[in-house]
Structure 1
Amino acid sequence: MVTVADVRSLALTLPRTTEHLIRDRVKFRVGAIVYVAFSRDETTMGFGYPKEERDGLVAAEPDVFFLPGASDLRFHWVCCRLDRLDHDQMTELVTEAWRMVVPKFLARQRLGA
């Protein structure tokens, strides 16, 4: 099971990431762009994810992943249940969400090609 503390310990190591508490929700962002956000009760996490791939992700593991609300479908965003997510999945999802919002040179510096 993944917790907000687990995500925080990873996210804050990623360059340009800042943590914010907005309307009782923990969010991680680069500049003004949020790439990870938690529900108020911290049981679910939304994260940046390519729109064209999210239906496949949800279909592959519907017990873990789900689509955001209708008003957020226009964004590159998908959600997951933290109690069903393992640490390796979280690391990959958070890192890739961060990669989507930073300049390419910065992602290459941090993660390589």
Structure 2
Amino acid sequence: MATWADVRRLALALPGTAEGTSYGWRAWKVRDRAFVWERPLRRADLEHLGDAAPDGSVLGVAVADEGVKRALVADDPAVYLTTPHFDGYAAVLVRLDAIDVGELAELVTEAWLAKAPKRLAQEHLAAERTGPAT
């Protein structure tokens, strides 16, 4: 079970990330582009989801494309969901209390890679491959 503290720690560990808000909710951005954010469900979301609407915290996460979103939702609907609001948008919603921290770490990193400037992403990946300097 992941927490907002986990989201914050994982997001801020990535280069160029700043913590702020988007529409009044917590958001983590790379060069002013949100890659993970707090996303409470709206009335239309709740109506669409009905009894399947999660009770806990919901995290919005950028993904590479809609194919990735569809695959995540299909593979693990207990963790991932979407609503009509996100149709045509490369983002998925995550039940924060249903995802483990390891999977969250991978998801946050992939979201960051989807939104980071290409050069910054390449530098980060190269540094990850070579490991810390000794």
TM class, shorter-chain normalised?
0.7 to 0.9
Sort the Cα spacing of 1:22 and 1:104 in 2 relative to 1 into closer, same or farther, 3 A: closer
**Quick check: 1:28 aligned with 2:28?**
yes
Displacement of 1:55 in angstroms is 1.2
Q: TM-score, normalised by structure 1?
A: 0.87
Query: What is the distance in 1 between the residues matched to 2:70 and 2:26?
Result: 25
**Which position in structure 2 is the counterpart of 1:46?**
60
% identity of equivalent residues: 34
Quick check: which one's helix share is greater? 2
Matches within 5 A, 1:1-113: 1-40=1-40, 43-49=57-63, 50-67=65-82, 69-112=83-126
SS in 2 for 1:63: coil
Query: What is the distance in 2 between the residues matched to 1:23 and 1:105?
Result: 28
Q: Which runs of 5+ in 2 are unaligned?
A: 42-55, 130-134
Displacement of 1:40 in angstroms is 4.6
SS in 1 for 2:78: coil
SS in 1 for 2:15: coil
Amino acid at match of 1:6: D
Quick check: which one's strand share is greater? 1
Q: Which runs of 5+ in 1 are unaligned?
A: none
Q: Who wins on radius of gyration, i.e. which is larger?
A: 2
Query: What is the distance in 1 between the residues matched to 2:115 and 2:21?
Result: 19
SS in 1 for 2:7: helix
Aligned residue pairs, count: 112
Query: What is the distance in 2 between the residues matched to 1:55 and 1:83?
Result: 20
Deviations 1:33-59 (A, max 9, x none): 211011359711110012122112101
Most deviating of 35-44 and 80-89: 35-44
SS in 1 for 2:61: strand
